[in-house]
Structure 1
Amino acid sequence: MNTIYLVGFMGCGKTSVGNLLSKQLEVPPYDVDTTVEKLRGQTIKEIFASEGEEAFRNYESLAIRQLPLENAVVMTGGGAVVREENLSYMKSKGTVIYLKTSFPILWKRLMKEEERNKRPILLTKTKEEVFELYQMRNEFYEKSDVTIITDHLTAEEICIRILDEIKPFNSWK
């Protein structure tokens, strides 16, 4: 069971941390959203617009199951853990790490124009609605194997903490 699954709300740093962590561990990184886009031949934004969030979540669940089960770092979408079967599957195949970031820091990151434009939810929801979503998802994130509080940490510092935490779970070098 050597796959590491990174979970957390959009903007918490899953992609940055995942890519850096995969280099440090010398294993491939896999981004679930990118996998869905390749499988469907559409961007996440296009899938949301044409088929809706439920269809996207179905594709996301399928993508999680198609990724390698050993020696990989998998960056999930922010809502992947809302489906209990996804969280159970990931926990059965590896170590699930929650990158916990406070809402004010996330909101500041998400309000950058390049972030807003690539995240369909941000185009239709108010700050209050996004906060409600953050709070609702938090109960699912908290079921992870490991929680790393990321506020004010660099991607490198987060990786160091992850490496310290996963020793009991994995046989990494």
Structure 2
Amino acid sequence: MKKVYLIGYMGCGKSAIGKRLSFATKMPYYDMDTEIVRMTGLTIPQIFEMYGEERFREMETEFLRTFRDEFCIIATGGGVAMRKENREIMRETGLVFFLNAPFRDIWRRISTDRNRPIVQRSTRSDLEQLFNNRKPQYLHGAHFKVETENRSLRDIVDYIAFQIGRLKGEI
């Protein structure tokens, strides 16, 4: 186990939890979308506009295959776990935590986000259906399901940090 992957639907808290988890575990934190933007020099909406969603999904798989080999925390994009290959790579190279948040909480966080192309072109109903369609793949890809409803960021981070420490033999 080298990497810790945070998976889940957009707006479930992967970035917020990843940053805090990095501090708690002293492991570096990377946001997959931020890294892809850095490597390409394009924003996520620009990548979708210029190359389409399928090419963006290929970039995510390339990231998982080639990203540096170090102990770290990676907040993945919301669609990463939809590809079987991605789930296999993550499960083989690290621990995978699915952050399970209720859709109503997610909608509150993402509904006005201009940097999410899927949100901009979809209705609430479409996004909820996508959420429901993706959930089985998140569950299938994860080693741990982390319930976020009615839990503070600190409680969630403490739980994940405990599991990391336990599996690394530090507890």
Greater shift, 123-132 or 153-162, is seen at 153-162
Percent identity between the aligned chains? 32
Give 1:153 shift. Answer: 1.9
Contact 2:3-2:95 at 8 Å conserved across structures: yes
Distance (Å, rounded) in 1 between the aligned partners of 2:162 and 2:100: 16
RMSD: 1.4
- Which one of 127, 132, 136 corresponds to residue 139 of structure 1? 136
TM-score by length of 1: 0.93
Tell me the alpha carbon deviations over residues 62-113 of structure 1, each in whole angstroms, 9 at most, x when there is no partner.
11222234310011000000011011001000100000001111111112x3
Contact 1:2-1:172 at 8 Å conserved across structures: no
- Which one of 154, 163, 166 corresponds to residue 164 of structure 2? 166
Matched with 1:124 is: 121
Q: How does 1:1-173 map to 2 (within 5 A)?
A: 1-111=1-111, 113=112, 116-143=113-140, 144-171=142-169
After the TM superposition, which parts of structure 1 deviate over 4 Å for at least 4 consecutive aligned residues? Answer: none
Q: Which runs of 5+ in 1 are unaligned?
A: none
SS of match in other structure, 2:70:
coil
Question: Which one-letter code corresponds to 2:138 in the other structure?
Answer: Y
Distance (Å, rounded) in 2 between the aligned partners of 1:22 and 1:164: 13
Q: Which runs of 5+ in 2 are unaligned?
A: none
Distance (Å, rounded) in 2 between the aligned partners of 1:170 and 1:84: 26
TM-score by length of 2: 0.94
Greater shift, 161-170 or 130-139, is seen at 161-170
Question: Which one-letter code corresponds to 1:169 in the other structure?
Answer: L
